[in-house]
Structure formats: structure tokens, C-alpha cells
Amino acid sequence: MSVPADTSLHGLWSKRTAFMFAAVGSAVGLGNIWKFPYMTGESGGGAFVLIYLLCVIFIGLPVMMAEITLGQRGRHSPVQTMRRLATEDGNSQGWQIIGWMGMLAGVMILSFYVVIAGWTVAYLIDSVRGVFDGFDAAAASAHWEALVGSPQRLILWHTVMTVLTAWVIMRGVNRGIEHATTILMPSLFALLLLLVGYAALYGEFLQGLRYLFVFDFSQINPDVTLKAMGQAFFSLSVGMGAIMVYGAYLPRKFSIPEAATVVVSADMMVALLMGVALFPIVFASGFEPSADPGLIFQALVLAFDQMPGGWLIGTLFFALTMIAAWTSAISLLEPIVSWMVDSRNMRRCSATALCAAIVWVAGLGTVFSFNIASGPEWQLYGKNFFHWMDYLASNIMLPVGGILISLYAGWMVRREVMQAQINIDHTTVFYGWLWLIRVVVPLSIFLVLLRGLGIL
């Protein structure tokens, strides 16, 4: 389908803030609220946080700038964008792999993402209904076990989240994504501030801060480093084309470095604020932070119940998490839907319905990983279906996508073309970015991957 120059078939963001809300909405999600605290718990606190922050600033930010720039130039879904750029730049069509792998990673991540997001809906509703009143630790665990032990309940909530996500995507870029994120993101930030204020008043604030910011370097090993890097990619939504497709809808007049810096700072701030807000609450409730993905739910229910006004705060917290998950899920679905519309000439509605159905079916694998397929006979090298999906997509595919994106942006596009598109006036800053993306980023991702996988 042909598109007039410098616009996209799907439309463009109507305002700068629309892109910001959508991109921050994509970045801020379960990765910040649910995964970051439990991975920090699993990997021993401050040392993990430090590597994560370094990866965010020196790898995530430059890759995000590259991704937005490529998307803005290509103006299509990631596959079509890479195809168009490869043609214009005289490069191999093989670079479309960035788009293909990204779409696959998107479907894989979304398939478990909607299930976890479903937990937040279940907890939100139970919290509103006052189910958690008078809960003790045993009741909190029993409640959790009852939820994940029931495939029917998990399927119900994962269906709800899949439908909500598909509904926004069906409505398109402006009436759907832009509209939804412009309402949801400010609400999310308001709720977050309330929660942090509350944690400061009632939680073990200092203990939480100490946990996050005391660096114990003996905890750093190749595996922790790989996880921290995977977490940085996951949390920023980079490496799979989600940010690229949002960049495709970005009008030329907006500054890419500025946009990327705002998105990265907002994401980092939310992860840290969540850590600062959650760890004190978790410590105050007597739980130990650890590796269990369900711990945060159990600890919080208990903690909220023991606190003044806890019912309201708990309800707000689950609402916040659900909103954050929803706006991220939207961005995981857009690359593949836009590809079907761009290259298969499908209507947005049918493309969305088809993709949502694929995601829903794949999501059953994660649903069953917590109940009927949770036993060791269902595991491969100690990981169940859900763990494999997460590990392969977040720790392998996103970083590999990051390497390819940076190599393409750094070496395969003429320097002047890149400089004009990314629009960095300051030559030193541009060269700083260029050499990060040419050498530092791909090399460090490569080394961390090899060490983390035990190859080096």
C-alpha cells in the first residue's frame, strides 16, 4: 500500500505529549512494578540495581534513540520499515530480521504478560470487594495459591486483559493508543505518588532504601549481569520494534534525543520509586524479598491489610499496576498488527482479532505453568513454559535485537542521513551517540550475552 511521503498509513501522533504518554506507557509496566522488585530480591539488591542502571543509561538510551530514528524514517511496521530502509540504503533485505524477531518476541512476551496482568485484575477486584480484610500470612498465601492453582480463573482474567488490549489496538493509533494512554498515564503517575508518599509515612523507608542502594559487589556474576541487562531491555521496551513502531508515528518536528531521554528517565524513576515504595512495605510486613513472582502479591495484601487506610491504598496499587500493564501490552501488540495491515492489506480490526487469538492461545502455556503443568516433568533444564518464554524473549531476543538495531543504525546508514534524521545539532553529542551505538553497545551486549550463557 503506498503512503504519502513522511506520514504513516496508521496516522501520526497529534501532539508531542501523545508520543510521550504512549512510549512511557509502553516502558512503564509490569517490568517496573512486578519484575524489577522480585528480580532485585532474587539477585541480591543494590549490585543488581547498579548494573541495571548502567545498562539503562549506556545501552538502553542509545538503542532507544536508534530505534525511534529508524522507525521515524521507515514510517511502517518494523518489518516494512527495515525493508524500506534496507532498499533505500542499499543494504541486504536480511535486515528485516529485526522486525521478524521483534514480532515473535512481542507475541512471546505478550502471551505471559496478559496472564500476569490478569492477576492484577483479579487482585484489584478482590481488593475492592474487601476480600483481604483480616488476612494473615497464611491466608495471603492460600489466596494466591487458589488463584494460580485454578486454570479457569486465570483464563478468565487473561481473557479480560487480552480483550482490553485488543480493543485499544483495534481503534487505531489516534483514537485508540493515543486516547487511552493520554488518560491512563497521568492517572498512573498520580497513584504512584500517593503510594510513595504512603510508603514514606508508614513503611520501613530506610531499610528499603538501604536494600536498593547498598552495593554488595560479591553478588555480581555473569548471570546477574545478563539478567540486569535483560531487565533493562524489557523495562525500556527496546530491542523488539515496539518503540520503533511508535517512532514511525512521530512527526518530524519533535526532537528524538529529548523524547528518548524523557522516556528513559520516566521508566527509571518509576522502577526506583516502585522499589523504594514496595520494599519498605514488604519489610514492614515481615516478608523477605525473594525470587517468587507471586511474593509481591502476597506480601502486599498482607501489608496493606495491616496499615491504616490499607484497603484504599491496596486498591489503588492494583489499579495502578493494571493500568501500567495495559499500556505496555498495547505496545507489544502494535508491531505485529501494523505489519498485517501494512503488508497483508488486512483491516486493522481483523488483524487485531487474529493476533489477539494467537496471543491468547500462547498464553495458555503460561496459565498452565502455574497449575497443571507446574511439576518437574513439565520443566526443561529447570524452567517451565513461562520461564522459558520470559528467558528467551527478554534475555536473548531483546538483547540480540538491540545488537542488530545498533549495528544497522551505526554502520549501515550513511552518517549524514542518520545525523539529519536523529536531529542532534551538537556534533560532539552526535559522535558520542554514534560511537556508543557503533561499538560500545553491540560489544557490551555481545559480551554479556556470551558470559551469561556460559559460552565465554
Q: Which residues bind ligand PFF (CB under 6 A)?
A: 26-27, 29-32, 106, 109, 234-235, 237, 240, 242, 328, 331-332
**CB 430 to ligand PFF: min, Å:** 26
What are the beta bridge partners of residue 380? Answer: 383
Residue 424, sorted as left (phi over 0), alpha (psi -120 to 50) or beta, turns out to be beta
**CB 237 to ligand PFF: min, Å:** 4
Residue type, 241: G
Rounded Cα–Cα distance for residues 367 and 114 (Å): 10
184 vs 424, beta carbon nearer ligand PFF = 184
132 vs 234, beta carbon nearer ligand PFF = 234
245 vs 256, beta carbon nearer ligand PFF = 245
**CB 236 to ligand PFF: min, Å:** 6
What are the beta bridge partners of residue 383? Answer: 380
Which ranges in 345-384 belong to alpha helices (H)?
348-369
**CB 240 to ligand PFF: min, Å:** 5
317: nearest Cα among 196, 155, 201, 181: 196
**CB 417 to ligand PFF: min, Å:** 26
**CB 239 to ligand PFF: min, Å:** 8
237 vs 419, beta carbon nearer ligand PFF = 237
For the record, the C-alpha cell of 170 comes out as 483495534
413: nearest Cα among 72, 90, 60, 100: 90
64 vs 424, beta carbon nearer ligand PFF = 64
Kindly report the backbone phi and psi dihedral angles of residue 285, in degrees, each rounded to the nearest multiple of 5, phi listed first. -85, 0
Kindly report the backbone phi and psi dihedral angles of residue 453, in degrees, each rounded to the nearest multiple of 5, phi listed first. -85, 0
Rounded Cα–Cα distance for residues 439 and 411 (Å): 10
CB neighbours of 325 closer than 8 A, spacing ≥ 6? Answer: 29, 30, 113, 116, 117, 120, 161
196 vs 271, beta carbon nearer ligand PFF = 271
26 vs 444, beta carbon nearer ligand PFF = 26
Q: Radius of gyration over alpha carbons of the chain, in Å? A: 21
**CB 146 to ligand PFF: min, Å:** 26
